[in-house]
Chains A and B, each alone.
Chain A
């Protein structure tokens, strides 16, 4: 069964094409990596999956539901860890999770038990009553993962979940994610800048560049297709650029300008 079905999906911002006619599927229980350089369309695609943006063309099904017409059914199906922090710093760890649990209508008895269980899983049970503003970046990330799992989603979206974290914390986070994928059968859809993470964790990978899918398959297949020793080399051959190129591309600059104009 497919957890995500994408058919000829497109997104334009005025005359800028951010996502251009992409199609792919993600199978239930799979760990799927979505790779691409800055401004390739990764976050825009995830935002369309998670009802934050409306597609310009094509269709999406998440857990069998259409985000455009059945947004609340889609929202109940997924958990998300955004690229940027999205916790309330003025609330405690427990309050952030409690808030999420109420929004997702998790019954109170189950909610309290689930919060305790997840805080233990991410090793934050001793900090449950501390304000989030006192947490380190890694602790916030772990708390966001706990929050994303609170309502037992069937799929979890992770948009650059380990960006800016030290190697040890990154390792810990991926262990949690792998664990929940295996124990709870959750489908994992993630984007990352770290090629070794995609190589190690993903069952399948799609590479997006300039809004188009340029390759899709297992890490091994992509390496074989491009006659590369590493996934990083394969990525370089497929897109013509290294994934860690941090300079803002044209599309990023145009997006920024568009935001300024909107103000």
Chain B
């Protein structure tokens, strides 16, 4: 029991550290909103008329959940990748020599990063309201929040797993270009999943983000491709896998 209490304290202090770092970096808070807002406004209004003519309805209603997911994955991955930053600037060593299992360190970092990413998603949700997005039911907001948190957890843990095997910040743009962008574009965030070529559809079905976007969209605008149950279970399984992989790779870090 004593050990569990100590582990909980370690996870809490790492969570708190991430939140403090985030709250003290206004540039990061504002900067990370620029891209989602640009996508929301440019794509939402730019493709809106075409989407409506094609019989899809209001494009802002369709795209907003995808943009919320986008803001979460970028923030979450960045938080995961902070392992590289901490390695370069020495702070990682302080946590690696602490007398606690390394999985507690990894879990604390992931909780912190996921909380920050979820908060970021909530801010983008509020911005979406300002540009005309209207959730179908206020009662479904907690469901959307669950999917936002799951996406945040998955991508923070995924980022940590990747960062545990890397040593320099210069690799970060490569990760964005080769991993995050394809995952985002092939998740159904920007277009409906119906009527796609078989190969594209298969890739989308294998992409965990597709289930997260679908869950948020189902909760906020009732347009769903899968079911809540499937979305939740698939995303939960991927998150558990990423946490396990991240914990394993993090425990193997040598500095």
Contact = CB atoms under 8 A, between A and B. Distances in A.
A and B are interacting partners: yes
B229 interface: no
Interface stretch (A86-94, A178-186, A209-217): A86-94
Interface residues of B, number: 29
Nearest to A74: B99
Contact of A103 (B21, B90, B98, B167): B98
A31 to B, nearest CB: 21
Contact of B25 (A72, A90, A262): A90
B94 A105 contact: no
A263 B168 contact: yes
A51 B253 CA distance: 11
A189 to B, nearest CB: 14
Interface string A106-136: 0000000000000000000000000100000
Contacts of A71: 99
Nearest to B21: A90
A86 B93 contact: yes
A176 to B, nearest CB: 19
A51 B17 contact: no
Nearest to B95: A103
Contacts of A103: 10, 13, 94-95, 98-100
A80 B97 contact: yes
Nearest to A13: B254
A98 B9 CA distance: 12
A14 interface: no
Contacts of A75: 97-99
A98 B255 CA distance: 24
A94 B10 CA distance: 17
Contact of A102 (B13, B93, B94, B167): B13
Contacts of A104: 98-99
Interface centre among B9, B12, B97, B255 (most CB of A within 10 A): B97
B178 interface: no
Interface string B1-40: 0000010011011000100110011000000000000000
B226 interface: no
B166 interface: yes
Contacts of B168: 263
A12 interface: no
Given A90-B25, A105-B6, A76 B20 contact: no
Given A91-B20, A102-B13, A50 B97 contact: yes
Nearest to B20: A91
Given A90-B20, A259-B167, A263-B167, A76 B99 contact: yes
A105 B8 CA distance: 11
B91 interface: yes
A225 B228 CA distance: 79
Nearest to B13: A102
Given A103-B100, A262-B167, A89 B89 contact: yes
A99 B99 contact: no
A65 to B, nearest CB: 11
B96 interface: yes
Interface in B93-146: 93-101
A98 B14 CA distance: 11
Contacts of A80: 97
B171 interface: yes
A203 interface: no
Nearest to B9: A102
Contacts of A259: 167
A26 to B, nearest CB: 18
B107 to A, nearest CB: 14
A97 to B, nearest CB: 11
A52 B254 contact: yes
Interface of B: 6, 9-10, 12-13, 17, 20-21, 24-25, 89-101, 166-168, 171, 254-255
Closest 9 CB pairs of A and B: A86-B90, A75-B99, A103-B98, A102-B13, A72-B99, A76-B99, A84-B90, A90-B21, A86-B94
Given A95-B20, A103-B98, A262-B167, 7 more contacts: A72-B99, A75-B97, A86-B90, A88-B17, A95-B17, A105-B6, A259-B167
Interface of A: 47, 50-54, 71-73, 75-76, 78, 80, 82, 84-91, 95, 98-100, 102-105, 131, 147, 259, 262-263
18 contacts: A52-B96, A75-B97, A86-B90, A86-B93, A88-B17, A89-B89, A95-B20, A102-B10, A102-B12, A103-B94, A103-B98, A104-B98, A104-B99, A105-B9, A131-B24, A147-B94, A262-B167, A263-B168
